[in-house]
């Protein structure tokens, strides 16, 4: 069931209870979805994970075969993970570094020249801990053009990253990031403005 809360599009995943009636034992997704995930997982292990690092076009092709929209010039490295390719929408020249992960039960959009660095985590879902059934809630999210999620940083469910925003090393974004602003810390707070046309050597987040 999809809805909009606070301007954020979200989906509540509710599947009928299992044979024992315990909602904690039921799957959050349909059998068709789970089979698609199984097939993607096998493809990732056999054809994606161990592909040579320069073969970005090959990995983009594999993602497209599973429904991803990949713009030209995207660099997705072999140890990076995409949970559901069919919910991935990339403009041109997007990067997903090694050991970075996009967890996207709902659509996630990467705009032009967006970078997700090593071991960063884009978390597209959580659970309603106030509900007795503990249902999964996933969010549609967007990482703006020229934004940069630095190494080991995390973007929380439902958070949108503005154009040119930077989330610093190991930081956790719990709220939307404003365009062309540098954030850092846990939780992330504004640090300074980012220059739109900065000279070489100024990027040190």
What tens digit of pLDDT does each residue of 162-189 get? 999 999 999 999 999 999 999 999 999 9
- Domain assignment present for residue 199? The answer is no
In 3D space, the residue among 139, 96, 132, 133 whose CA is nearest the CA of residue 114 turns out to be 96
The pLDDT value recorded for residue 28 is: 83
The answer to whether the CB of 190 falls within 8 A of the CB of 174 is no
8 pLDDT above the threshold of 50: yes
Task: List, for residues 78-104, the tens digit of each pLDDT value.
Answer: 999 999 999 999 999 999 999 999 999
The pLDDT value recorded for residue 48 is: 98
pLDDT band at 5 (very low <50, low <70, confident <90, very high): low
The pLDDT value recorded for residue 132 is: 86
| Residue keyed to tokens 């909602």 | 23
**Sequence-ordered list of residues with C-beta below 8 angstroms from that of 106, at least 6 positions apart, any chain:** 9, 10, 11, 87, 124, 125, 138, 139, 140, 141
What are the CA-CA distances from residue 28 to residues 11, 20, 56, 155 (Å)? Answer: 11, 16, 32, 22
The pLDDT value recorded for residue 1 is: 57
204 pLDDT above the threshold of 60: no
Residue 85: which domain range? 28-193
Task: List, for residues 99-158, the tens digit of each pLDDT value.
Answer: 999 999 999 999 999 999 999 999 999 999 998 888 899 999 999 999 999 999 999 999
| Residue keyed to tokens 């032009």 | 112
If one counts the domains in the chain, the total is: 1
**Sequence-ordered list of residues with C-beta below 8 angstroms from that of 56, at least 6 positions apart, any chain:** 74, 75, 76, 77
The pLDDT value recorded for residue 100 is: 98
The answer to whether the CB of 113 falls within 8 A of the CB of 131 is no
CATH number for position 161 = 2.160.10.10
200 pLDDT above the threshold of 50: no
Q: How far apart are CA 198 and CA 200, in angstroms?
A: 7
- Domain assignment present for residue 198? The answer is no
Please count the residues of the chain. Answer: 205
Question: pTM for the complete prediction?
Answer: 0.89
12 pLDDT above the threshold of 90: no
- Domain assignment present for residue 18? The answer is no
The pLDDT value recorded for residue 14 is: 64
Structure tokens at 2: 């999809």
């Amino acid at each position: 069931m999809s809805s909009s809360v606070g301007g954020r599009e979200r989906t509540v995943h509710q599947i009928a209870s299992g044979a024992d009636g315990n909602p904690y034992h039921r799957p959050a997704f349909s059998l068709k979805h789970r089979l698609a995930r199984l097939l993607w997982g096998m493809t990732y292990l056999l054809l994606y994970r161990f592909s040579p690092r320069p073969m970005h076009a090959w990995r983009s092709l594999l993602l497209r075969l599973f429904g991803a929209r990949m713009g030209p010039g995207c660099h997705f490295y072999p140890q990076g993970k995409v949970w559901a390719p069919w919910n991935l929408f990339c403009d041109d020249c997007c990067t997903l570094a090694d050991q970075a992960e996009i967890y996207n039960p709902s659509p996630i959009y990467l705009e032009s020249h967006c970078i997700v660095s090593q071991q960063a985590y884009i978390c597209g879902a959580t659970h309603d801990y106030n509900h007795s059934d503990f249902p999964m809630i996933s969010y549609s999210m967007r990482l703006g053009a020229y934004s940069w999620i630095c190494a080991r940083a995390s973007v929380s469910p439902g958070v949108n990253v503005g154009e040119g925003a930077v989330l610093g090393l190991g930081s956790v974004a719990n709220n939307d990031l404003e365009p062309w602003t540098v954030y850092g810390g846990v939780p992330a707070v504004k640090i300074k403005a980012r220059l739109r046309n900065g000279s070489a050597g100024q990027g040190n987040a």
